[in-house]
Structure 1
Amino acid sequence: MKKAMQKTIFTVLLIILLIFSGCADRKNDLAVVQLTEEISITEIEENVFVVTHSFPWPGNSLFLVLDKENILWIDTPYTPEATARVLDWIEAEIGQDYSITEINTGFHIDNLGGNQELIKRNIPIYGSSLTGELLEKQSRITMSKMMNWLKGAQNAKYRAVYSDFQFFRPTRTFDINEDQRLTVGSEEVIIHYPGPTHTYDNLVVYVPGRELLFGGCMILSSDADKVGFAEDGNLQEWAKSLLKLEERFESIRIVIPGHGNPGSSALIEHTKDVVDAALSD
């Protein structure tokens, strides 16, 4: 009797261990599609996909399949060609009958380099009027600086694309100082500007129903120890703007930075620390 009881307890414990092991594996085993050598699509949770385009620096955009009819895409890959590859993948793997809404979070090429392809496919693009103004006034200056980082034969293909890059503005613009509340399908989406950070026009996008924040280049990944290129922004105001961001959205479960891996709201604090360190140098 005692041996039978011990065997039963052992069997139950073994089953529990296997169940929890399986759960841990599924949690850590993210579904990654390597679309091309430069483009990967990672499903970080059900129907939430991070698109990483390395051209040459890895940059993130994000799309969410909100329901059976609507997709929200935030930022784009660097180029129209890469954006077309992702759109074709969406049509082939998710469906052709989805309505896509795009939001640009800033004027840099890793925020809206794919706009030309989106406009070609009649996809509405939301962005601030300031983003459009900075595209006109500042983008060529910023791109010339970027070209200086791409010297050498190994970067020839990037120089060929970026040397005469044509930018396209958002098609649906708004005052950056006024929160935008969109209803995409059945979900509310909030576009918010807490103040100057990495650039003077960087926005965040918050999806309340999922407690998800796309921080873009305003937020640094956990392995970033420097602010990177910040000449188009304001270091002195960056940390202050992050404090306002935390006050605006108290329930944040997941944060997607513009570069690097997603994380929790701790990425906001980490970014403040890195910005403070840069100011003290």
Structure 2
Amino acid sequence: MKSRKQQSLYKKIAALALTMLVTASLTACSGGQTDPASDTIKLQAMPTKLSSFSGLVTEIKSMDNKVILKKAGKNVWIHTSYKSINGNKVPANGLIVQTKQGIVLLDATWSDKLAGQLVHMIESYFKQKVVLAIVTHAHEDRMGGVSGLIERDIEVRSTDMTARLAKEAGYAEPNAFLDGEPQFMVGGTQFEVFYPGEGHGKDNVVVWLPQTNTLFGGCLVLGQDAKALGNVADANMAEWPESLLRVKHKYGQAKLVVPGHGKWGNAGLLNRSIELVSKSNNT
């Protein structure tokens, strides 16, 4: 007969061995590296058998940290890609929406290379194809990866104005679909595209996901950490606050608001954006 102390020691050793085995198995399955403290996967090769992570992983990074995916809610992730501008790493946010039919992307990263990384990470982890992308205006941080998506036979939709401006700027031309059908379903998930008027750009739109009360504001909406307005080369400063007010009146119930750059938050971001733009207009 083993003493109680011996039995307790054996149990601890067995538990430790099991923990080590599970950790090793999950790391091998990920095809990359895991950081248990942050529930982060760093993808290098294509991961396999990731179902055991379901509901646990909240962040996925490319090995070069230039593309990061963060879980924002049920079936909604935020993709952030980085470009170096004047020595500064500038982030650009977009959305990943899981539907029964496949993945829908909102905005296409800075470049074809980053868009390729993004698609690889999505298909590797989520085990779903990207079936559609929506671009919210014709600037590099939204349009840069459109050619890369089209080359992968992914349909890219925009408004007619964005398609025209994209062509003028030398980008691949999206399918000008959204003016005629701003509300549509993909795999049982509803999308609503709204043009509130000029602001950050002539053509900026927002995208509403009613199932999750999620608003993707694009560059019309400023991040929680924004101290300046960013690129205003194509901005209509006089109309920008009014356009934000229209968004607030229509989607003020949003629980999650994702800006084009910086930290996301709730509907309070709309008020903050109005204040920042109005303050800039008054100085």
Query: Do both proteins adopt the same fold according to a TM-score greater than 0.5, normalized to the shorter chain?
Result: yes
Percent of matched pairs sharing the same residue: 27
Residue among 154, 159, 181 paired with 1:123 = 154
TM-score, normalisation: structure 1: 0.75
Corresponding position of 2:127? 95
Q: Deviations over 1:93-128 (max 9, x none)?
A: 1114x3521100000011111111111111111101
Greater RCO, 1 or 2 (C-alpha within 8 Å, sep 6+)? 1
User: After the TM superposition, which of the residue ranges 228-237 and 193-202 deviates more from structure 2?
Assistant: 228-237
Structure 1 unaligned segments of length 5 or more: list them.
1-24, 140-165
Matches within 5 A, 1:206-221: 206-221=208-223
Corresponding position of 1:39? 67
Distance 1:228 1:99, change over 3 A: closer
Corresponding position of 1:63? 96
For residue 239 of structure 2, give the secondary structure of its aligned residue in structure 1.
helix
Matches within 5 A, 1:129-208: 129-137=160-168, 139=169, 167-175=171-179, 180-208=182-210
Question: Is 1:73 the equivalent of 2:105?
Answer: yes
CA distance in 2: counterparts of 1:104 and 1:261, whole angstroms: 20
Given that 1:82 and 1:114 are in contact with CA atoms closer than 8 Å, whether structure 2 keeps it comes out as yes
For residue 109 of structure 2, give the secondary structure of its aligned residue in structure 1.
coil
CA distance in 2: counterparts of 1:230 and 1:187, whole angstroms: 33
Runs of 4+ in 1 over 4 A off after TM superposition: none
Given that 1:74 and 1:105 are in contact with CA atoms closer than 8 Å, whether structure 2 keeps it comes out as yes
CA distance in 2: counterparts of 1:34 and 1:122, whole angstroms: 24
CA distance in 2: counterparts of 1:248 and 1:90, whole angstroms: 31
Corresponding position of 1:151? none
CA distance in 2: counterparts of 1:76 and 1:229, whole angstroms: 18
Paired letter, 2:95:
L
Given that 1:130 and 1:201 are in contact with CA atoms closer than 8 Å, whether structure 2 keeps it comes out as yes
Given that 1:194 and 1:242 are in contact with CA atoms closer than 8 Å, whether structure 2 keeps it comes out as yes
Q: CA deviation at 1:184?
A: 0.9
Q: CA deviation at 1:30?
A: 7.5
Q: CA deviation at 1:42?
A: 1.1
Structure 2 unaligned segments of length 5 or more: list them.
1-37, 40-55, 85-89
Q: Deviations over 1:22-62 (max 9, x none)?
A: xxx99xx9722221231111112233211111112111111
Q: CA deviation at 1:260?
A: 0.8
CA distance in 1: counterparts of 2:232 and 2:214, whole angstroms: 25
For residue 199 of structure 1, give the secondary structure of its aligned residue in structure 2.
coil
